[in-house]
Amino acid sequence: MVVLGIETTCDETAAAVVERPAQGRGRILSNIVLSQIDEHAAFGGVVPEIAARAHVEALDLIIAKAMAEAGRSFAHLDGVAAAAGPGLIGGVIVGLTTAKAIALVSEKPLVAVNHLEAHALTARLTDATPFPYCLFLASGGHTQIVAVLGVGDYERLGTTVDDAIGEAFDKIAKLLGLAYPGGPQVEREALAGDGARFALPRPMLGRQHADFSLSGLKTALRLEAEKIAPLSEGDVRDLCASFQQSVVEVVADRLRAGLKMFRERYGKPNALVAAGGVAANQAIRKVLHQVAFETGTVLVVPPATLCTDNGAMIAWAGAERLALGLTDTLDAAAHARWSLHDVTGLAPSRNAEAPETNAGSVTESRMADD
User: Residue numbers of the site for Zn ion (CB under 5 A)?
Assistant: 139, 309
The item of Zn ion, ligand KG4, none sharing an interface with residue 258, based on CB under 5 to 8 Å by kind, is none
**Closest distance between ligand KG4 and the C-beta of residue 68, in Å?**
25
- 207 phi/psi in degrees, rounded to 5: -70, 150
The CA distances from residue 345 to 153, 183, 271, in Å, are 6, 34, 21
**Closest distance between ligand KG4 and the C-beta of residue 163, in Å?**
10
The item of Zn ion, ligand KG4, none sharing an interface with residue 278, based on CB under 5 to 8 Å by kind, is ligand KG4
Q: Which is nearer to ligand KG4, 13 or 308 (CB)?
A: 308
Contact 108, 74 (CB under 8 A): yes
Q: What are the DSSP E strand ranges found in 160-263?
A: none
**Closest distance between ligand KG4 and the C-beta of residue 170, in Å?**
5
Q: Which is nearer to ligand KG4, 79 or 195 (CB)?
A: 195
Q: Which is nearer to ligand KG4, 181 or 318 (CB)?
A: 181
The item of Zn ion, ligand KG4, none sharing an interface with residue 183, based on CB under 5 to 8 Å by kind, is ligand KG4
Q: Which is nearer to ligand KG4, 141 or 345 (CB)?
A: 141
Binding site for ligand KG4 (CB under 6 A): 10, 139-141, 166-167, 169-170, 181-184, 187, 276-278, 280-281, 308-309
Contact 25, 126 (CB under 8 A): yes
Count of H-run helices and E-run strands, the chain = 11, 10
**Closest distance between Zn ion and the C-beta of residue 206, in Å?**
29
Q: Which is nearer to ligand KG4, 242 or 295 (CB)?
A: 242
The item of Zn ion, ligand KG4, none sharing an interface with residue 170, based on CB under 5 to 8 Å by kind, is ligand KG4
Contact 35, 11 (CB under 8 A): yes
CA distance 91 to 314: 15
The item of Zn ion, ligand KG4, none sharing an interface with residue 166, based on CB under 5 to 8 Å by kind, is ligand KG4
**Closest distance between ligand KG4 and the C-beta of residue 350, in Å?**
27
The item of Zn ion, ligand KG4, none sharing an interface with residue 150, based on CB under 5 to 8 Å by kind, is none
CA distance 276 to 310: 10
CA distance 291 to 270: 14
Cβ count within 10 A of residue 11:
26
Peptide bond before residue 181 is cis, with ω within 30 degrees of 0: yes
Instruction: Give CA 174 to chain center in angstroms.
Output: 21
Cα(first)–Cα(last) distance of the chain, in Å? 42
Q: Which is nearer to ligand KG4, 1 or 283 (CB)?
A: 283
**Closest distance between Zn ion and the C-beta of residue 313, in Å?**
8
**Closest distance between Zn ion and the C-beta of residue 52, in Å?**
17
Q: Which is nearer to ligand KG4, 150 or 184 (CB)?
A: 184
Q: Which is nearer to Zn ion, 141 or 269 (CB)?
A: 141
The amino acid at 73? S
Burial category of 21 from C-beta neighbours within 10 Å (exposed 0-12, middle 13-18, buried 19 and up): exposed
**Closest distance between ligand KG4 and the C-beta of residue 138, in Å?**
7
Q: Which residue is nearest to Zn ion (CB)?
A: 309
The CA distances from residue 56 to 36, 50, 67, 96, 326, in Å, are 12, 10, 18, 11, 28
